[in-house]
A = this chain, B = another copy of it.
């Protein structure tokens, strides 16, 4: 396995001797812990990673010792919480400036690190960690590509998988099953399947009673997780035949998505890309109905650092992987979203997901 202390310290702008990443209990896990250590299997609740410029060490309970040792990460096993604190105190005693990840560390674990590192200064290096995470390394890209391939294949099969009358959770079950059979280790997140008016709710959860009816939009937003790296794709279909308004909605979103993708290149600002998509929608009859930003980073988490947004503007750089996912949402009627994952390159971007984008029927 690849541990990433070199990448992390080379993008560090604050001066620290070490970085300490500590997980709490699910779901309060630090995604930088997994990014930094490269650990693929195992849960690692309550575990600690100590990164120095040239070494990474994991303090773990017996439960994860096998996962860690098989991955080839330097590991020390503790028996219980007290021993973990003693170990941490011993390991941290050499450092006077210790970096922490304030965006994911819990307040209770912060207290523990402070206690264990008595006297040392704790410095929030989350921005530096996130800056490192945004530029994907070749081994990370390979896993993202695999996750994208699995989601794409699953997406292509939607018309043969889904029929009028199926419930949203039945369809989610089919999507998840297909991804796992194609080699996903897990789903990237709980698949979102939304029919009719529910497609206007961007973070909807599928219902076991809601059935697909003729004339409804059917929105599928899902992704695969492969060795902890994820993909994220959305397509919106129509059950049987569409109305003119539905076709116009879909066409507008598609044009917005293509405008955004066309504008992506190393060095462009996220706000510019967001604007490219938003302009298309806001100059149509669906003005003001694109209620979220255009995209977010993906990688070890589904909402990885980085965004394509005017509110959180940033420069897109070669090696970043982001979603491009404009949408139009009409309350009580329905929504359309089209989402692909792209890798920013020197000369533009490479679209990592592939699935027909025209409005198709189920």
Give me the interface of A with B, judged by CB distance under 8 Å: 24-31, 40-45, 62-64, 66-67, 80-81, 100, 102-108, 110-111, 124, 126, 169-170, 172-174, 176-177, 180-181, 183-186, 189-190, 200-206, 208, 291-292, 301-303, 311, 331
A266 to chain B, nearest CB (A): 25
Q: Which residues does chain B contribute within 8 Å of A302, judged by CB atoms?
A: 26
- Let me know if A189 and B26 touch, CB within 8 A: yes
Interface of A is mostly: loop
- Let me know if B107 and A124 touch, CB within 8 A: yes
- Let me know if B173 and A180 touch, CB within 8 A: yes
- Let me know if A64 and B203 touch, CB within 8 A: yes
How many angstroms between the C-alpha atoms of A170 and B184 in the bound complex?
A: 10
- Let me know if A185 and B206 touch, CB within 8 A: yes
How many angstroms between the C-alpha atoms of A42 and B190 in the bound complex?
A: 11
Known: A185-B206, A302-B26, A303-B25. Is A173-B170 also a contact (CB below 8 A)?
A: no
Interface residue from B28, B40, B172, B203 paired with A103 (Cβ < 8 Å) = B28
Q: Which residues does chain B contribute within 8 Å of A201, judged by CB atoms?
A: 41-42, 66-67
- Let me know if B186 and A180 touch, CB within 8 A: no
How many angstroms between the C-alpha atoms of A311 and B40 in the bound complex?
A: 28
Least CB separation from A100: chain B residue? B107
- Let me know if A31 and B42 touch, CB within 8 A: no
Known: A301-B27, A311-B80. Is A180-B185 also a contact (CB below 8 A)?
A: no
How many angstroms between the C-alpha atoms of A331 and B204 in the bound complex?
A: 43
How many angstroms between the C-alpha atoms of A67 and B200 in the bound complex?
A: 11
- Let me know if B80 and A108 touch, CB within 8 A: no
- Let me know if A185 and B208 touch, CB within 8 A: yes
How many angstroms between the C-alpha atoms of A45 and B107 in the bound complex?
A: 18
Known: A108-B102, A177-B177, A180-B170. Is A26-B67 also a contact (CB below 8 A)?
A: no
- Let me know if B301 and A26 touch, CB within 8 A: yes
Of the A-B pairs whose beta carbons lie under 8 Å apart in the complex, a sample of 18, sorted by A's number, is A24-B103, A26-B301, A26-B302, A27-B29, A27-B31, A42-B201, A42-B204, A42-B205, A63-B292, A81-B311, A100-B107, A102-B108, A103-B108, A105-B106, A105-B107, A107-B107, A108-B124, A169-B180
Q: Which residues does chain B contribute within 8 Å of A81, judged by CB atoms?
A: 311
Interface residue from B106, B126, B185 paired with A205 (Cβ < 8 Å) = B185
- Let me know if B43 and A203 touch, CB within 8 A: yes
How many angstroms between the C-alpha atoms of A185 and B291 in the bound complex?
A: 26
Interface residue from B27, B203, B291 paired with A28 (Cβ < 8 Å) = B27
Interface residue from B126, B181, B331 paired with A170 (Cβ < 8 Å) = B181
How many angstroms between the C-alpha atoms of A202 and B200 in the bound complex?
A: 41
Q: Which residues does chain B contribute within 8 Å of A66, judged by CB atoms?
A: 200-201, 331
- Let me know if A41 and B205 touch, CB within 8 A: yes
Interface residue from B30, B181, B202 paired with A63 (Cβ < 8 Å) = B202
Least CB separation from A126: chain B residue? B108
Interface residue from B28, B45, B176 paired with A173 (Cβ < 8 Å) = B176
